[in-house]
Structure 1
Amino acid sequence: MKVKELSKKSSPRIDNKFVQALNIQTYGEDNLYPQAFRDIVHASPSGNECIDRLADFIEGNGFKDELFSEYVINRRGDTVDEVHCRMCQDMAMFNGISLHVNYNVFGEIVELNHVPFENCRLTEPDENGVISKIAIHPDWTGKKTRNGKTIQVKKDNIDYIDVFNPIKEVVLAQIEHAGGIENYKGQVLWITLFGNYEYPVGKGDKVATEMSTDEGLSNVKYRNVRCNFMPSTIMLSKKANSVTQTGLDGSESIDYDNDEVMNSLTKIQGDKNLGKIVEITVEADEEKPEFVNMDSKNYDKEFEVTDSSVTERIYSAFGQEPWYCIRKGKIGFSGDILSDAFEYYNSIVSRQQRFIERVITRIFKYWFEPVNPSNDYSITPLRYVQNGSSDKNE
């Protein structure tokens, strides 16, 4: 089919609209794309594992200059290394980062803070297509509370902060416009791999459906073990109106009257009741009890193909095929294989690492004091050590 015809069946991954009351461009139709995507990833065992591995490799062993990594960069006492770790987590999840900087009266950067990427929204561009401010709210879902009160999503609870522009004349003009340094809110560096001021999709967005399916498969496995009927035998006896559940060793005998028969079904579900004998009494004329063997339905087998294909697609989307092959036993588990896997994935994350290096270089170029005389802001990649641990864990 022609591309034009196919496009009619496809839709953008992120629908944006402008909300005049808040002066923001929505991040997704309901303005909650990053929150929804994060929840999908966290609910998927495979997706969550892949995101964590991606963040670890982007972070690597931190910046090569250890003294620079330990430098305290804000009043909270955060070091460069701690802020770098949070940046890498946002980069792995959302393909973007946001940082807040404060200036002194001389227009020099004196403080750097991480801002959760999911808390930021773009404002409306001006007539020249320029976005001048970033809107920040602690929780766009409107569920977070402070002092027992919900932080509503309204203009009064949103900080509108100037976008990053470290040119001294610009900073001094903004300080004067704010009424002095004590009223100045600083600037926000909001940047993504998708270009300037474009909402990005998450790294695993292409397999969002698979990650949601992965969550469903986990629920199936859980319920198959915890909620499935697993008695070995049902005994039908006559007259009395009760149900008795007895263990194979003769222990744990419980009687229920007729009103509790339906409620008693929960007593024979799940792994803890596997192999028990269930006695159901009925009013009938049989001379002796009748034993009926009961085979429970194993739902795991129904989803084996789906489980395998979903997991493979998730690992593939994150470029983590070597770990999938190791997990499935397609290749061996040796130091050489893992070392090759580390080298391979370091090449995958090199783009993100260079991106972060450029951001940090740009900020500390305008720092009020020299903190990295070597000007080396490169990140040390993870290396696999033959004793089974990475350099990062040593």
Structure 2
Amino acid sequence: MKRPGLLLVLLTVATGSLFAADKLEPPDLERYLRWGPFRVRPGIELSNLGYDDNIFFDSGDRSSDLTATLTPKLDGLVLIGSSAFLTFRQAFDYRAYQTFTDLNYLDSRSRARMTVPFRNFGVFVDGEHARSHQRPQDQEDLRPLQISQRLRGGLIFRPSWRTEVELGLTTDRFTHEDEDAILNGQSISERLDRRSHGARLEASYLVGGRSKILLESLQRDIEFDTDAILMGSPVNRDTRERRVLAGIALDEGGRLSGTFLLGLGRIDANSPELPDLNEVIGEFELVHRLGRSTRMTLEGERKPSFAVYGANSYYLDTRVSARATHYLNRLFGMEAYGLFGSLTFPETGGVGREDDIRRYEASVLFRLSENALGREVVYRLTFGHYERDSSEAGFDQTQNTVGIGARVGF
């Protein structure tokens, strides 16, 4: 079996990057409201309150309905003793339909991280639990319940005032539920349920202002609960992933902010009957502010995911999006969004597939208030269009939406 490398290009430009803050220090307390022993940033968002002309993402028999999504969330911080601190996030998504009420669902995501510093050394543990109805990118007409769990723990070092290193162990678990989804003779649970365990390293070096040089390394073993069915026979799908990335985090205080990571990685299949992965992948987000009234965001990614469709082990998800927001005055603004992407399926089982994806949105914004902490009240009216062109019959789709939304809080 050949074991070619996977060239991993991870370009992450984000104002809230994992590397942006000192990991041995709590976040800036001025960003939070005070609720007794808790510092919090609450918020609630109403989105998609309107019309959807293809709620099942069906390329043939289309169904429409009125929908709405309500998302309350809470970011928090608790100071413990003289130096330890706990950060957490809790969010819920409730999606409701007027006619197809059996589709209503409640999703949740919880995450917490405990850090105990000892001057230039510290220990941490963090965990995450998510319950979400996610549509697989390669089978959007499905909507299984996915439950993911993550646990990490390790050590933080600060060898000098410029350098910070985090070493840790990580374990993940993914399960899926959808009794009606039978693909290639297997349920979606048999196709995707898995666990992984491994080790990771993250390091940063301050070069000037608040900009940093970054290094990240990960090695993990991925074990599937059930073998894949290939040409009618079971095949072990377990893999090993390795990656090393280096880059830079830009100063958050400037007009242009974010991070840039570039690296080399590898995914090897244990079975000689399945391919190893050797592809350029990555992700990025770039934020450019033009004064106080205009903000431009450019995002993109190219990453492998485990496939549901056919006998393929992986598919490659490539997409680039741009969002421009401009306020004409204190109250009124406009926003335009465009996404262009593709899904590419290796011909593992003799079946190849290529999908082109496009999404467009135009919004009118009405901002009632905003303060220096980032707390705001914004209403929006959004028109959206989505389309997918596939090389395989039965996967072409279009969707049109119109709806109003509101965001209150941080």
> How does the TM-score come out when normalised to structure 1?
0.18
Instruction: Please tell me whether Structure 1 or Structure 2 has the larger radius of gyration of its CA atoms.
Output: 1
Please state which structure has a larger fraction of its residues in strand.
2
> How does the TM-score come out when normalised to structure 2?
0.18
Higher RCO, Cα 8 Å, sep 6+: 1
